[in-house]
Amino acid sequence: MFILRNNPLKMADNYTAVLYAPYDVRIEDLPIPDIGEDEVLIEMHSIGICGSDVKLYTTGICGAEMVKDPMVLGHEGAGVVVKVGKAVKSLAVGDRVSIEPTQPCRACQYCKLGRYNLCVKPHYCSTMTAPGNLCRYYKHVADFCHKMPDDMSMDEGAAVQPLAIAMHACNRAGICLGQTVTILGAGPIGILCAMTARAMGASKILITDVMQSRLDTARELGADCTVLIEREAPDQDVVDDIVAQLGSPPDVTIDACGYASAQRIAMMVTKTGGVVLVVGIGATKVEVPLTQALLREVDIRGSFRIANTYPPAIAAVSSGAIPLKKFITHHYPLQKTKEALELAKSGDAMKIIIHI
């Protein structure tokens, strides 16, 4: 009942990057997964390294996730469909797909409202609930595999995932024409939030970071101005620098790094009646000037993963509205996954792509 392309998959190697514990990542040959009737088997081509991969690699913990058993890494992926289940009508063998890395339950109240990123029983790639896709062959539900236009490369298809996260964050922040935006953290998500905010009509965008090299990249990819932060700088000094650069407090501030200092600065610097959006994953508990922000009616919002932003992200890349190629900076083969993670940990790369 399945369609299979000519090469004998049962004879192929399914090399996979498996994380056992902090700094212990191994390349292993695992069985090719069997697919269900609503699933497809994908021969992976390009997989991006994410900040959450780095946190799991270095600490074994990222947000609520903890490495308790061996975990297959990777959730930013694109590849080619090589096998389809009998109930799949939307895809065919040979289709190039960008993989939205979730498989929600579809039955809980959040899924029914379309907020499937808040699903109570999610199966998200590269967590304890579902394996990742940093492997040669990976299976996924067909309706969360998005066909890629011919003018999109596999590398761009992989990088759509963090772009979709940035789009969801900017949607949650309510960014619109003419607004001023401050983004705290010039890592991949911060840069993509800047690129997205620009495409959504933000009039002036400022990015902060502790690394000048990242701020230089931010200037090239969407920021109008930058602030280099000294690691021990007082919060008020950073607030004053941001307001001086922008000319006034920002309408929207996005915390894209997850540090407590960034969240404090966000609540202090945002204009009265403005919005603070937290997309960076930080510590379980932080101390912030909440009362001061509430008395000024600053809205504080969270953003988690992705909800309904894959198709618009793909369209934005295909149209040229968001130039993802400039965002991708480094390439590694699967065998050098550990070296790629070490580079990502250093902060010297923007987006690293692993090639299978």
- Residue 281 — very low, low, confident or very high, per pLDDT cuts 50/70/90? confident
pLDDT confidence of residue 9 = 44
Is the domain of 117 the same as that of 42? Answer: yes
Give pLDDT, residue 12: 65
pTM of the predicted model, to two decimals? 0.93
Type of residue at 177: L
User: Does 126 share its domain with 28?
Assistant: yes
Q: What is the CATH number of the domain that holds 217?
A: 3.40.50.720
Residues 331 and 211 grouped into a single domain: no
- The 10s digit of each residue's pLDDT in 69-120 is 999 999 999 999 999 999 999 999 999 999 999 999 999 999 999 999 999 9
Q: How many domains does the chain have?
A: 2
What is the total residue count of the chain? 356
Q: Is residue 159 a part of any domain in this protein? A: no
In a domain, 40, yes or no: yes
Q: Using CA atoms, how far apart are residues 5 and 9, in angstroms rounded to an integer?
A: 9
> Which domain does 250 fall in, by range?
166-302
312 domain residue, yes or no: no
The residue among 150, 136, 68, 138 whose CA lies nearest residue 100 is 138
The verdict on 77 and 179 lying in the same domain is no
Same domain, 97 and 222: no
Are 212 and 275 found together in one domain?
yes
Instruction: Find, among 73, 86, 105, 107, the residue nearest to 40 by Cα.
Output: 86
Q: How many angstroms separate the CA atoms of 276 and 146, rounded?
A: 31
Mean pLDDT across the chain, nearest whole number?
Answer: 94
Q: Is 128 among the domain residues?
A: yes
Tell me the mean pLDDT in the region 196-217: 96
Q: Given this model, what pLDDT does residue 6 score?
A: 40
What are the DSSP calls for 287-330, one per residue?
A: ---HHHHHHTT-EEEE--S-SS-HHHHHHHHHHTSS-GGGGEEE
Residues 266 and 140 in one domain: no
Same domain for 87 and 198, yes or no, is: no
Predicted local confidence at residue 332, as pLDDT? 98
Answer yes or no: is pLDDT of 304 > 50. Answer: yes
- Contact criterion met (CB below 8 Å) for 306 and 100: yes
| C-beta neighbour count of 355 within 10 angstroms | 15
Residues 231 and 129 in one domain: no
**What tens digit of pLDDT does each residue of 152-174 get?**
999 999 999 999 999 999 999 99
